[in-house]
Amino acid sequence: MDSLSLIFAALADPTRRAILARLAEGSATVKELSEPFEMSGPAISKHLRVLERAGLITRGREAQWRPCLLSAGPLQEVSAWADNFRHFWDASYTRLDALLEELKEQTDD
């Protein structure tokens, strides 16, 4: 599977997105990451493996702790992919602006 597909598959799950949002605030242990969720440690570990395989997190080593860290590089890949569609969005907004202006002129008459 290509890296972009792995990233999108990892981001498809709301639990994994919540984990990434938490890691955006700083590193955290598996226990800290599991606190907001009603799921077992092994279930959280499974989510972490998916995120790690996609390159979205790394796991460090500090004595007996293995803190998880956000790795934002793959998110730049997603951003670059999405930028390919910016011209479509810009054109859509331009058409919408024109329509709104036309409707405004009709109501002013």
Provide the residue range defining the domain that includes 69.
3-84
Residue 18: its pLDDT value, please? Answer: 96
Does 55 fall in a domain? Answer: yes
Does 107 fall in a domain? Answer: no
Q: Residue 16: pLDDT band by 50, 70, 90 thresholds?
A: very high
CB 61 within 8 A of CB 28: no
Tell me how many degrees the CA angle 87-91-97 measures, rounded to the nearest 5. Answer: 145
Retrieve residue 31's tokens.
Answer: 């226990």
CA distance 109 to 98: 17
For 20-74, the pLDDT digits (tens) are 999 999 999 988 999 999 888 889 999 999 999 999 999 887 767 789 999 989 9
pTM of structure:
0.76
- Number of domains the chain contains: 1
User: What CATH number did the domain enclosing 64 receive?
Assistant: 1.10.10.10
Does 24 fall in a domain? Answer: yes
Residue 66: its pLDDT value, please? Answer: 80
Q: Which residues pair with 62 in a beta bridge?
A: 65
Tell me how many degrees the CA angle 7-10-11 measures, rounded to the nearest 5. Answer: 85
